[in-house]
Each structure stands twice: as structure tokens, then as C-alpha cells.
Structure 1
Amino acid sequence: MQLPQGKKIFFASDFHLGIPDKTSSLLRERRICQWLDSIRDEAEKIYLVGDLFDVWFEYKNVVPKGYTRFLGKLAEMADAGIAIEIFTGNHDLWMRNYFPEELNIPVHYGPITFEAGGKKFFVAHGDGLGPGDHKYKFLKRVMSSPFAQWLYRRVHPDTGVGIANYFSRRGAKHQGAHDGDFKGEDREWLVIFAKEYLQREHIDYFIFGHRHLAMTLPLGNSWYINLGDWISLNTYGEFDGTAFHLKTFDSHE
């Protein structure tokens, strides 16, 4: 990918729309839409790297209620020719055809790599990568299976989404807390994953969400980047064709 003059690639993750309540989520949704408006003239491509919703489950003819402003903004920008791609996260892994068919936005269910401006990128939400967290990895395999999704769709949407909301809303982030402090390079699973990956293949930028930490970490001549979140940090990534920058959006609300 060669970026035209004045164009950039943008990255953001962990909006967690829907929590902790309708009022707070709506304020966050409006802030995200303001950010999207602020970058639209510069955006060559936008990657939204998972956990956009705190719960998202698609039935054949039903999707979760709400998020009208956000979905409408994505549709508006996609219709204007801005390339947008999204990733599933651990909270919204049950995406299917709605985004590609209704919004013309591709969905990635795992990591991708690409090159832009002579730099190589590895992008993933980050859940289930690296060592450890074996219980979640097993649960993700089960929940991602076509049979599990088929079985869950036999449950009425009011019940199914209600159950998902109940389990999803348990956790510190619902009180506005981030996902803990940085534990050190030898204890952060995504950092360990990136270091092991570099033994096989060079990557200039590893870009993850999931941890709710806004940070950049040099790994030799590569970089580990976590995009933070929009519950308390309002952070996003920007690649201008030469270098990557982690920034904070100020909506002046």
C-alpha cells in the first residue's frame, strides 16, 4: 500500500459500546463519531481493531439494538470511498455478514499482516495470542465453532443478548478502570508473542488492542503498540507513511 500525499492510516480499538449504561455509552458513541469526522479527510484506511461493542451477536435477521450513530457514520464514510476494516474482539467475536453486506466493511477474525510506506504491520485484537490464558483459548475455540453459534441462535434474541450482556458486564472496565498496569516485557503475553514472532519474520509495527493500555514499546528495530481504549483514554494510532504515532482525541465536550 502506497499512501497518497497527505493521507494516513488510522487504528483504534476497544470502544466497548453498550457499557456501563446507555447514557455513558451514548456519550462515548458521539465522541467516536466526532473522531471519525475529524480524520475523514486524511484517512486512506481505518482499522478498528476489535471490541467495538461490549456485546455483539448476529442472528440471521437480527442484530443488537442501538449504536445507530456509529453504524451510520461507518456507512457514510464507507459510501464516501474511505476504506474501513474491522476486527472481532473477545467481546464481539460473533460477527458474521452484517458489516460486509450492509456497510461494505470487511471483518477480520484473526491477525493480518500488510505493508504500507515500506513498513510491515501485524495487526490483531490480541485475545488468545501468546502463552498462557489457556482457559480463555479453549472457550474461544468452543464459542467460535459454527455449531456453538448455530445452537445459540436457537435462543430468542431477547434472551440470548440478555445472557451475553450479563456475563460481559462483569469486570473492572465497567467502572471505567483500564485493564491493569503494564506487567513488564517478560510477563505481557502480547509482548512475548511479538518477540517470538520476530524470530521468524521481521515486522516493523505490532498493533494490538485488548489490554486497554496506550503504549509504544521498542523491540529492537520493531515496535510493540497497544492502542488503549475509549472508555477512559480516547487513544488511537496514526501512520503517516513514515512513522507511527499514538495520539489522544480531545473532543472539547
Structure 2
Amino acid sequence: MLPTPCHVIGDVHLGVASPDSERRLLRHLRHLPESARSLVIMGDLFDFWFAWDYAMPRTGYRVLAALADLHDAGVPVLWIGGNHDCWGGEALHKETGAEYTLDPWRGQIGAWDTLLAHGDGLREVEDAPYRRLRTVLRHPWSIAAYSWLHPDFASRVALKSSHTSRKGRARDGGAGLLQVGTRALEANDGPRLVVHGHSHVPTLTPAGRGVYGNAGAWYLDHQLLVIADASIARCQVDVDGTVLQLEELPRPV
């Protein structure tokens, strides 16, 4: 169980995000204990991450340190791995103390029965080719082979090949993931809140028997979801760090 208020961010894409985006995130993380009791990262915090045995990507090290500080301050961090930061969950957990998982997460966030998933590969038809590719990329043999590449060369290759999966918004405007979430929310034993990332489309809407949310892409909009026991809100972090509420929905009874 994660305590509320819980802040949910996603798709920061450190490495291609602007310096302003990273500064806003750092400021928000450093002041987060003043307004939240837990944090959820919906994947793709990095545009590329890989855990070598004796090296780590330099990008985002200040953000990792801020996450470790949150853990030390007693603020639990749940990290749902995405398609850009899926290689190195154990290292990320050891460095930050965050609970890291590549699987969908089902549990309580305060009073909300919640299902969290990054969203890559969930659309049944459109994502079928990607699911086959993902099986190869995440196979232990592929990971072992990639680990032998020099980190500088490997990082350049990964960043050049990743631009298509981070470019702008989903072509369907997030409709495909909304359908996936709605099906889960319509099930008799389904959750009351489903949250995805990946589409880069900020969303907060009633669906099925509950609420569907997507924090969007931090590097594009600097938005987040704020989950309280009685409601969930979509918010935006201003340039001075002020959190502005854009919309709010009550928790279904």
C-alpha cells in the first residue's frame, strides 16, 4: 500500500528533456515531502538506461540522488519500468531504494484500488510487432551481449534508435490505452483507478466503474497526477515550482 497524497509522474525522458524540465523535476522532488507521502514514476524516467557492472549513464544522476533522498526521508517510491528504462531495475533499486517493477502493479494507493502499467505493448493489435521485438530486446542473451559494448558507443546507438518511441504524442491521442484501461475498469473484479504512461497524453476521465488517468510526458507538459483518498487531480508544475490544479475527479463510491 502507498500512502496518500501520492504524486504520479511519467515519461520524463532525461537525456533529451530540456534543462528546464530537469530543473523543475529536481525542485519538485526536493520539496515533495512537504506535500506528498509517496511517489510513483510511470516509466521512461530516462530516454535510455542500462546497468553495466562497473559503469552507469551520467544522465540524470542528480535525479537519482533526489530519489535516494526521498527514500532516506521515509517517502516510498514505486517505479514502473518503461520501454526506455527497462534494462537495470536491480541497479536502480539499489541506487535509489525505489521499488522497481516491469510488471503491472495492482494494489492500494490510499483508498484507491489501483492498477498501474507503463502502457507499452498493451494494445492488442497495434502493439503486436513491438511485443515480438520486446521479447528479443529483454532476453537475457540480448542483455548480456549488449553489456559487452562500450557504454559511450552503446548509449549513442540507443539514443539514435529511440527517437521514434518518444516523439510527441501517441498517434491515436491516447485512445488505445484508454480502451485498455476501460476494459480493466469494467471488470467485476477490476480496480477503481487505472493509470498508464507511454502515450504522452495527459488524461483524467471517468471510465468503466472508476477513473482512468495518465500523467502525460513531464518533458512536454510538466504535469502530474495527485492522488488523495477522496479524489484524484491532474496538475501542472509552474516554472517557479507552484503546483496548479487543472481538474479533479472524486473517488467513486
Give me the TM-score of the superposition, normalised by structure 1. Answer: 0.87
1:214 corresponds, among 190, 198, 202, to 202
The answer as to whether partners of 1:235 and 1:249 remain within 8 angstroms in 2 is yes
Counterpart Cα distance in 1 of 2:228 and 2:169:
28
How far off its partner does 1:118 sit?
3.0
Change (3 A) 1:141 1:236: same
Alignment of 1:1-253 (within 5 A): 1=1, 3=3, 7-19=4-16, 24=18, 26-132=19-125, 133-170=127-164, 173=167, 177-180=168-171, 182=173, 188-197=175-184, 198-199=186-187, 201-252=189-240
Q: Which moved more, 1:29-38 or 1:43-52?
A: 29-38
How far off its partner does 1:101 sit?
1.4
The answer as to whether partners of 1:9 and 1:238 remain within 8 angstroms in 2 is yes
Counterpart Cα distance in 1 of 2:12 and 2:2:
28
- Please give the per-residue CA displacement for 1:165-190, whole angstroms capped at 9, x wherever unaligned: 111134673xxx4334626xxxx322
Residue identity matched to 1:209: G
How far off its partner does 1:38 sit?
3.4
Give SS of 1:123's match.
strand
2:245 alignment counterpart: none
Change (3 A) 1:145 1:251: same
Residue identity matched to 1:145: H
Counterpart Cα distance in 2 of 1:180 and 1:194:
17
Counterpart Cα distance in 2 of 1:71 and 1:251:
21
Give percent identity, aligned residues only. 27
Give SS of 1:100's match.
helix
Change (3 A) 1:181 1:38: farther
Change (3 A) 1:201 1:49: same
Residue identity matched to 1:178: R
Counterpart Cα distance in 2 of 1:192 and 1:66:
34
Residue identity matched to 2:240: H
Unaligned runs of 5+ in 2: 242-253
Counterpart Cα distance in 1 of 2:28 and 2:154:
32
Change (3 A) 1:211 1:240: same
Counterpart Cα distance in 2 of 1:172 and 1:9:
25
Counterpart Cα distance in 2 of 1:217 and 1:182:
14
Residue identity matched to 1:106: E
How far off its partner does 1:214 sit?
0.6
Residue identity matched to 1:86: W
Change (3 A) 1:16 1:170: same
Counterpart Cα distance in 1 of 2:164 and 2:172:
19
Residue identity matched to 2:234: L
Unaligned runs of 5+ in 1: none
The answer as to whether partners of 1:34 and 1:251 remain within 8 angstroms in 2 is no
Give SS of 2:235's match.
strand
Counterpart Cα distance in 1 of 2:233 and 2:135:
34
2:250 alignment counterpart: none
The answer as to whether partners of 2:182 and 2:208 remain within 8 angstroms in 1 is no
The answer as to whether partners of 1:35 and 1:251 remain within 8 angstroms in 2 is no
- Please give the per-residue CA displacement for 1:44-95, whole angstroms capped at 9, x wherever unaligned: 2101010101111111121111313211211111111111121211111112
Counterpart Cα distance in 1 of 2:76 and 2:153:
35
Q: How many residues align?
A: 239
